[in-house]
């Protein structure tokens, strides 16, 4: 049977229509794929810096917050506590913070930006449990003569009130100090150092 002009026109129309539908199908399939490349708001929030109001922390108290799905502790240390830290040095594995467990600004005897406030990631450097804050003499049951510290019940690691690890425990390193800075006297920003982009 010979092709009539009508049949040829109809064939051209059907070919064109199929191409368009095919094109729409490709675009339709591409949208959800590209969308899955964009980080969700939840994922962005999980990596975001956080602001913390420290004005209500009483001397000796510890405030727990969450940053990047990790516990972060802010402890307001008393003058007595600060004065007692130097006595621990001989019992510690890395008393001078030589290991890279803190930003440069916290490589000092208090491991902090301001002496009074200690900021730590509350995760044991052995296998990742969260240690307990033992205060007002409770820590002395684990280390004679040291009244305050952090004790990890999982395998018995111990840290002082600067987050420095004691010798003779399974944790190899001091607790991590996260990047942070003071926005003002009462507000900490955790996640970045001052002036960082
Ligand atoms: S996880 Fe803390 S001592 Fe093992």
What six digits make up the tokens of 174? 């001091």
pLDDT at 11: 52
Residue 170 neighbours by CB distance under 10 Å: 14
Q: For the domain made up of 44-190, give the CATH fold.
A: Rieske Iron-sulfur Protein (2.102.10)
Whether residue 152 has its Cβ less than 6 Å from ligand 1: yes
Whether residue 154 has its Cβ less than 6 Å from ligand 1: yes
As to burial, measured by CB atoms within 10 angstroms (0-12 exposed, 13-18 middle, 19+ buried), residue 1 is exposed
Whether residue 157 has its Cβ less than 6 Å from ligand 1: yes
Q: In the chain, what are the domain boundaries?
A: 1-38, 44-190
Residue 149 neighbours by CB distance under 10 Å: 24
Whether residue 171 has its Cβ less than 6 Å from ligand 1: yes
Question: Which atom of ligand 1 lies closest to the CA of 170?
Answer: 3
Protein residue closest via CA to atom 3 of ligand 1: 155
Which of 152, 159, 169 has most ligand 1 atoms within 8 Å of CB, for mutation? 152
Whether residue 92 has its Cβ less than 6 Å from ligand 1: no
Digits of tens for pLDDT over the chain (197 positions)? 444 444 555 555 444 444 444 444 444 444 444 444 455 666 666 779 999 999 999 999 999 999 999 999 999 999 999 999 999 999 999 999 999 999 999 999 999 999 999 999 999 999 999 999 999 999 999 999 999 999 999 999 999 999 999 999 999 999 999 999 999 999 999 999 987 75
pLDDT at 177: 98
Question: Which atom of ligand 1 lies closest to the CA of 152?
Answer: 2
pLDDT at 2: 45
pLDDT at 96: 97
- Distances, alpha carbon 49 to alpha carbons 33, 73, 122, 178, 188, in Å: 29, 15, 17, 11, 10
User: How far away, in angstroms, is 127 Cα from ligand 1 center?
Assistant: 5
Whether residue 164 has its Cβ less than 6 Å from ligand 1: no
- Distances, alpha carbon 174 to alpha carbons 43, 115, 159, 171, 177, in Å: 29, 17, 7, 8, 9
């Amino acid at each position: 049977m010979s092709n009539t002009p009508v049949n040829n026109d109809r064939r051209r129309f059907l070919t064109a229509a199929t191409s368009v539908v095919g094109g729409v199908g490709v675009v339709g399939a591409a949208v959800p794929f590209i969308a899955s490349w964009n980080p969700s708001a939840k994922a962005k929030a999980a990596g975001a810096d956080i602001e913390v109001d420290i004005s209500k922390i009483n001397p000796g108290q510890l405030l727990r917050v969450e940053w990047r799905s990790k516990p972060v502790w802010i402890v307001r240390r008393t003058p007595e506590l600060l004065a007692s830290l130097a006595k621990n040095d001989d019992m510690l594995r890395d008393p001078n913070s030589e290991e890279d467990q803190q930003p440069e600004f916290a490589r000092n005897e208090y491991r902090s930006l301001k002496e009074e406030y200690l900021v730590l990631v509350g995760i044991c450097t052995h296998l990742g449990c969260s240690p307990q804050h033992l205060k007002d003499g409770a820590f002395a049951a684990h280390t004679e003569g040291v009244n305050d510290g952090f004790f990890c019940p999982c395998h018995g690691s111990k840290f002082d009130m600067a987050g420095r690890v004691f010798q003779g425990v399974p944790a190899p390193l001091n607790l991590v100090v996260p990047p942070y800075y003071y926005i003002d006297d009462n507000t900490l920003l955790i996640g970045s150092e001052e002036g960082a982009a």
